Amino acid sequence: MAGNTGNPGATVTARVIAVLAAFDERHRRLGVTDISRRSELPLSTTHRLLGELVAHGALQREGRDYVIGRRLWDVGLLAPVQTDLREAASPFLHDIYAATRATVHLAVRDGNEALYLERLSGRSSVAIVSTVGSTLPLHATGVGKVLLAHAPQDLCREVLSRLSAVTPHTVTSPRTLTAQLERVRSNGYATTEDEMSLGACSVAVPVRRRGDVVAAIGVVVPTLKRDRGRLVAALQVAGRGIGRHL
Amino acid sequence: MAGNTGNPGATVTARVIAVLAAFDERHRRLGVTDISRRSELPLSTTHRLLGELVAHGALQREGRDYVIGRRLWDVGLLAPVQTDLREAASPFLHDIYAATRATVHLAVRDGNEALYLERLSGRSSVAIVSTVGSTLPLHATGVGKVLLAHAPQDLCREVLSRLSAVTPHTVTSPRTLTAQLERVRSNGYATTEDEMSLGACSVAVPVRRRGDVVAAIGVVVPTLKRDRGRLVAALQVAGRGIGRHL
DNA sequence: CTGCATTCTTCCACTGAGTGGAAGCACGGG
DNA sequence: CCCGTGCTTCCACTCAGTGGAAGAATGCAG
């Protein structure tokens, strides 16, 4: 009786997506067994799907492992993910980079996380953890704090109730963070020091469209000692510029 | 007899990819019927697949139409498409932008086309036709000519045998182009004037790794009259810089 | 408003594409 | 050499997928 009952209720499409979803920032390269485990699909099913996906260019083989293929890269780029915002921001992000030589970020709030839309990599020695397309917690990054400070009350409360520590310096006290967010609103900018990654500080300001905060831009630098004022000024100029082009 | 025989030999995976492949640069937003036609799948099959893909975030509805979804955007970004080259090039592309304020391109040869890997958009009035992730013909763009000038003999011959006119100024004579490519090799840079898009000129230089041309970088400007020398110089500095970091 | 063309959505009986357990390989470490 | 781990192939069973057709919605022209 080697026969089989199939798996009632599951569409092939869902399985295909599950396979693709096995890949993320920390797993760009995976073997059959890993993908099978992460997608919770039977090994042999996974194996066949992978073969088909490779045949159509959605994935590529790299030795025994699999990586996302060219086909998905250029299809993915067609997604209208805040296209207008990214277009409008692009030149201003360059300006910030030119003025600071630091790593520059553009992010929006996606639920209770910060979604990174754009990144210009500086040549500094700071370890950068962000990646375009991935998300980071709202309470531990500069752009995150800006977005959180201007998020709806209840979402803010929800985030404050579960503050995970990323580094020993991450702010995990709701009281402290609430006070910080208040200052973000009154001062017009947010800062972090070693809160997401040791040896990395950040400054961020909001981008507004007709008063509403729709995004945040920020820079990551090794230290804030000297440059805070200069960085804030450069960011605010850019932030207003972007807002004017939305 | 409303029954059905299915379509022997077709996997669901293939259909899913066919649906996704219906989207491209010029068709970012499509209705069911269009997708059905472009993917050559029966209408009702297409309709169901679209529903499933939307349910899993691979596509998104926009009114009646469909667009590529967030899920595919961030998965696509994980693809290792010349990642090292793009990493290495990034700061130098910014330098070029800072020095020229023009639209900057990074491209590699993909078969008989130029594949655009990176683009920094200038604020100039020039109409830019390139898009990251899409391809343009080798004979009508600056980066394309550089890549063609250093392509294998037989590929070059093949391209020369089918020179399509994109604008009235596109070079379609094999003799003329051959001469131009010779000059690209001896001068170390290529130019175009109104050949891809009217009112747009370009300059491009090769990026070499251990002597081999592995990519091309270029700028698009409204006119070459004044700045040719300055542009070539800026590009060549960057080109060598990138090469040193590969 | 009415009629016609086009596109979108739903339905359903049939069946072969997809399934997954198991067996067979291939590699590598002890 | 053996054993653990991961990759690949096999195959009988069956339900997920199929696609023609009918019906609903939209849009345009007269």
For B118-156, the pLDDT digits (tens) are: 999 877 778 889 999 999 999 999 999 999 999 999 999
For chain B, the distance separating the N- and C-terminal CA atoms, rounded to the nearest angstrom, is 64
pLDDT value at A1 more than 60: no
ipTM (interface predicted TM): 0.93
Residues of chain B with CATH 1.10.10.10: 12-76
Tokens of B154: 């037989």
| DSSP type of residue B230 | H
- Whether residue B56 lies within 8 A of chain A, CB to CB, comes out as yes
- Whether residue B43 lies within 8 A of chain A, CB to CB, comes out as no
Tens-digit pLDDT profile for residues A63-96: 999 999 999 999 999 999 999 999 999 989 999 9
**In chain B, which residues from 2 to 41 place their CB closer than 7 Å to nucleic acid strand C?**
2-13, 31-34
> What letters, b where the CB count within 10 A reaches 16 and e where it falls short, cover A119-135?
bbbbeeebeeebbbbbb
Tens-digit pLDDT profile for residues A174-227: 999 999 999 999 999 999 999 999 999 999 999 999 999 999 999 999 999 889
Distance B67 CA to C13 C1' (A): 33
Whether nucleic acid strand C comes within 7 Å of the CB of A49, the answer is: yes
What percent of chain A is predicted at pLDDT more than 70? 99
Closest CA to B47 of B28, B64, B63, B62: B64
Distance A24 CA to C8 C1' (A): 35
Integer Cα distance of A191 and A218 in angstroms: 9
Distance B38 CA to C9 C1' (A): 20
Integer Cα distance of A186 and A84 in angstroms: 28
Residues of chain B with CATH 3.30.450.40: 83-244
- Judged by CB atoms closer than 8 Å, whether chains meet at A133 and B87 is answered as no
Note the CATH architecture for domain B12-76: Orthogonal Bundle (1.10)
Mutate to test the interface with B, among A19, A41, A72 (most CBs of B within 10 A): A72
- Whether residue A51 lies within 8 A of chain B, CB to CB, comes out as no
Nearest to A70 among B28, B81, B120 (CB): B81
Distance B76 CA to C23 C1' (A): 37
| Amino acid symbol at B198 | L
CATH H-level, domain A83-244: superfamily: GAF domain (3.30.450.40)
Nucleotide nearest to B8 (CA to C1'): C16
